[in-house]
Structure 1
């Protein structure tokens, strides 16, 4: 095979298609691409990024679109371009190498590999001049110091193998005391003044917030609730939240949540929708309720594609970061008139000095407007004015795992905020994903424009989508979703479980194309780890599926495998902690014997049930939790269980509240 041109034009990734016109002879990752490097006896230049990445665009413009740079790349390397969202397995392996070699990671990621995939030099963004120097140095080392390169790549590959071994066994027992320890450690890291954890850049800590909220519902700790509300409020009032159209940016570049990195990711907004909907359910906090509604609307209107949800909106507009979103006082007066323009400038923190670049400001809302009607009118006019501006590009790629997050969040938010249209959106998404992404009984990770890609799904896809389908089963009572969810879990158990260590998981299937190492990362990051997501899905299946014990045993083993993270690095185990908080309560199960989804008692059960609880409804024997359980004396009844221990049924909301308090 010979690379004679750019081969990205037919890719299912919009990120790869962004590079289809580069003079670089880009190939997609494949055995043929590695074979090309072997045949030419040249190293591989691996470039990894994603469509909404600002610095990926910068490097593409400076170097990959440049004929001089491309000529060097084509002559001395086989050049492979990877979308990290489409191939998280490749990204994970080489990001570990990048961090190990440089002490930090990020995108664009630039790695040099031997033809069999062993890395020997890694970095991130390089300006054109530095990149040309690097290309020359690497090519020279390959030609003149091959033995050193081979030795380095073998050593790095060995280190990656050690890192991929995952967590050691022998973690502490899962009990309330371990959760208390993890929560206390997390609270010590809180930025009490500005909200969130640690220093800039600050990423929305969605999994930690969900875990802390579940802890509050178990312990009723005022300190824990205060932490949740401080962070949720700071993010919702800051520039990281879109004050006009809803939805969160990927992270804040500063400690006070003022200036975001402007890309909007599906996964962030789905996970945060779940958090804010649960904060509303638990506290009736008005700001949380508004943010949940607006974020759900952003998902449906801003990211909806073919019944499913697109991956992201770009950070840049016409090559300028934040162009669509920032304002000056003059722009406000032009859009709103002098009076409303001045009022909006004061309300949203828009000043002549600015909070962003060139005297522009990112909108903030440090306090609620004293005139709600004027607030909505002004926001509507600002949205209209903003729509007339150039808009950021959208990555329409559909990722199975992220759509699973959206299904779960929309279904749970539909219950928390009594919004049936969000349940419809979740159901439509689930049906579209199952119909398109399950091919010959196996899940695929990504699709674009109704065409599913060839890339196999990874562990997080199976687990996140299974959780979404199990959530739909609970809310709708439809057995179709339980059947589809257990099929995904059974497939994951067959192909991703570590046969030598029960409860440990690989991130890629046993029959997936081999990489230099088989990734197995149990640590939660911007999204939960595949293993912690499996713990959540298995825990739910253990109470919903017709054969519960096989799921229950594996759920327990998986959670036990994650306890070292809760013991030693709880901020890196937010989703583990959320699942653990549910587990130490049983988890709670509420089986509502009723004739209709409109049952008042069912509504009360859904409102009162803490995060992580299992709630099902229907007629006697309609599901596993309703075996032999019926309405009482012609009245709807709730059967409350903690683990395998159950109370007597109750028939009123007040009785249910008492029963749930006993179960703490």
Structure 2
């Protein structure tokens, strides 16, 4: 019996017809393991994961392997994106036992939940041997197995949290820049060696640091340009893949995630805001357009991901089949002359840059003939649309939608795209109507129906971040008010009593460890995301409580900046905002007056970290009024303002001189 058929998770539904008798995570599975006196086999993955599909096809769809699993274990399937808390604690155990982690994650544990053997992907023959060996150890060496599980739990539960006292000192960002420079790839951009993941939070920090006159802009620009020109960026349709398997950003792991694209669209927009780089503007807009075109759900939210795999010409699933090209395929679509031109432009070779002689499109230099490039790109995109597209994980995750709201709101404002701002507003409407229940946030929904999993810290923090960005663009006070409600829950339910935050609320399901990780992963850590939203909220409201909580939450930034700054990018970005103020810019004047709009736009384009208030309904606007009937802008720090200005040039000068070095 498979109990996944009623799941809301697309990943669990992918396994609903397996011969494995899967249980969803819950008390029923643990009770069944105790009743049968067998271990639990926990399998964790996500819908767009290539190697999860491989293990599913090899093992979970195989009758012989399924019989072993059913006879010897209680098998539990978890979508890591729905239950990041479960994923976090067992991934910590997996990394501690094996020195590495990844998905699919495979964990054998006692009926009490203590892990005693962990791994990731196992080929079918090895997996079958492992199933028999673990079952035999459970029968013959039960005491040793239980002791091993208890030892792991005790060791990990007793680990001290990363320390640090309060907000980083002014010299900490420079320390972090030097640390980042140690692993920066001068030739290819990015940090470290292959595989390379988009360092979105680190790039945001470097841009903010450069805006205050610090070093590091060359590292940010080198990485941003290399990612945009390589194969990790979809040169036809826009949007970034999850990571590059090579150092040159040439060959991607093809899954495309909402969170990567939301973070990167915002970073590219901020690169444009700081430097005016045309490439930055193009990539920011194309990425936003891709999110709206490919991930928008009918209810107004954004789906989580597109799969890595799709059907190839033979009808078999193949990673990247939707995206790659051969010279012959280019010629078939474009003709001989344009086909040869496109092959040279996009780096498509007879040998191929990916598997089976196909190539991932790259654009290492701008096309000389813009009209021809646009015509070829449109023709290839139309031809590609006739291929079988990758599957879509259409669940809506609150945190990642919050990141998308921030990106769409700011890109819409910067690039005069009110449709993007409107899309951000629709997403907020969905989240408020579907995910917000009795003063608490649910993590996911699907097809307009709320899920059952409680929101975690990143859900509250990233949504608050998006709401505050959207308020700065629209001036609608309801967005700032909703952010305040979310942050009240953060302070009341997630605080650890020592200046930090747990990743789960105080009334969440109790696992063997309450997760608390201050470091960034693919998205900003919940702790640093909360710090950023709290700091912005304090700048709008003057709340000392929120500012003090934000600064205290930045404690781990200082020790991380010494040697591990790649994992503290968002904390460093928030520290930059704190060192800059952040600037508080209040714009007073009728919304319909073009002079108000000009001042508002100049405020939003501040390269220095700033919080912008316009319209009404927030304390930063109290007492700020037009001057002699003319719209005015007030540049403040800690609610202490300079003289109001009524001209855009004067506002830009005040911004430049208020929080610089």
1:437-490 deviation per Cα after TM superposition (whole angstroms, max 9, x unaligned)? 012221000111111111101000000001111111121111111221111111
Match of 2:628 among 617, 623, 633: 633
Residue 530 of structure 1 pairs with residue 526 of structure 2: yes
Residue 57 of structure 1 pairs with residue 53 of structure 2: yes
- Residue 568 of structure 1 and its aligned partner are, at CA, apart by 4.0
- Residue 75 of structure 1 and its aligned partner are, at CA, apart by 0.7
- Residue 618 of structure 1 and its aligned partner are, at CA, apart by 2.5
Residue 241 of structure 1 pairs with residue 241 of structure 2: no
1:94-105 map, 5 Å: 94-105=90-101
Change over 3 Å in CA distance of 1:611–1:34 after alignment to 2: farther
Match of 2:514 among 497, 515, 518: 518
Conserved? CA contact 1:249–1:263, under 8 Å:
yes
Residue 309 of structure 1 pairs with residue 302 of structure 2: yes
Conserved? CA contact 1:105–1:123, under 8 Å:
yes
- Residue 166 of structure 1 and its aligned partner are, at CA, apart by 2.4
What is the match of residue 353 of structure 2?
Answer: 355
What is the match of residue 103 of structure 2?
Answer: 107
What is the match of residue 478 of structure 2?
Answer: 480
Give the alignment's TM-score, normalised by structure 1: 0.96
1:342-366 deviation per Cα after TM superposition (whole angstroms, max 9, x unaligned)? 1111100001011011110000001
Conserved? CA contact 1:638–1:651, under 8 Å:
yes
1:132-168 deviation per Cα after TM superposition (whole angstroms, max 9, x unaligned)? 00000000000100110111101100122124x4222
Unaligned 5+ runs, structure 1: none
Unaligned 5+ runs, structure 2: 312-316
What is the match of residue 463 of structure 1?
Answer: 461
Change over 3 Å in CA distance of 1:645–1:184 after alignment to 2: farther
- Residue 650 of structure 1 and its aligned partner are, at CA, apart by 1.4
1:368-379 map, 5 Å: 368-379=366-377
What is the match of residue 226 of structure 1?
Answer: 218
Conserved? CA contact 2:399–2:462, under 8 Å:
yes
Of residues 313-322 and 560-569 in structure 1, the stretch that sits farther from structure 2 once superposed is 560-569
What is the match of residue 401 of structure 1?
Answer: 399
Residue 539 of structure 1 pairs with residue 535 of structure 2: yes
- Residue 76 of structure 1 and its aligned partner are, at CA, apart by 0.8
Conserved? CA contact 2:584–2:639, under 8 Å:
no
Q: Aligned partners of 1:608, 1:295: CA distance in 2, in Å?
A: 20
Change over 3 Å in CA distance of 1:257–1:608 after alignment to 2: same
What is the match of residue 548 of structure 1?
Answer: 543
Of residues 474-483 and 202-211 in structure 1, the stretch that sits farther from structure 2 once superposed is 474-483
- Residue 626 of structure 1 and its aligned partner are, at CA, apart by 1.4
Conserved? CA contact 2:461–2:530, under 8 Å:
yes
Residue 659 of structure 1 pairs with residue 651 of structure 2: no
Conserved? CA contact 2:504–2:515, under 8 Å:
yes
What is the match of residue 267 of structure 2?
Answer: 275
Q: CA RMSD in A?
A: 1.3
**Which secondary structure state, in structure 1, belongs to the residue aligned with residue 587 of structure 2?**
strand
Conserved? CA contact 1:470–1:482, under 8 Å:
yes
1:30-49 map, 5 Å: 30-49=26-45
Conserved? CA contact 1:281–1:607, under 8 Å:
no
1:344-390 deviation per Cα after TM superposition (whole angstroms, max 9, x unaligned)? 11100001011011110000001111111111111110001001011
Equivalenced residue count is 651
- Residue 188 of structure 1 and its aligned partner are, at CA, apart by 2.6
1:479-526 deviation per Cα after TM superposition (whole angstroms, max 9, x unaligned)? 111221111111121111113x1x211111111111111100001111
Conserved? CA contact 2:94–2:101, under 8 Å:
yes
Q: Aligned partners of 2:259, 2:394: CA distance in 1, in Å?
A: 14
Q: Aligned partners of 2:58, 2:589: CA distance in 1, in Å?
A: 64
- Residue 604 of structure 1 and its aligned partner are, at CA, apart by 4.3
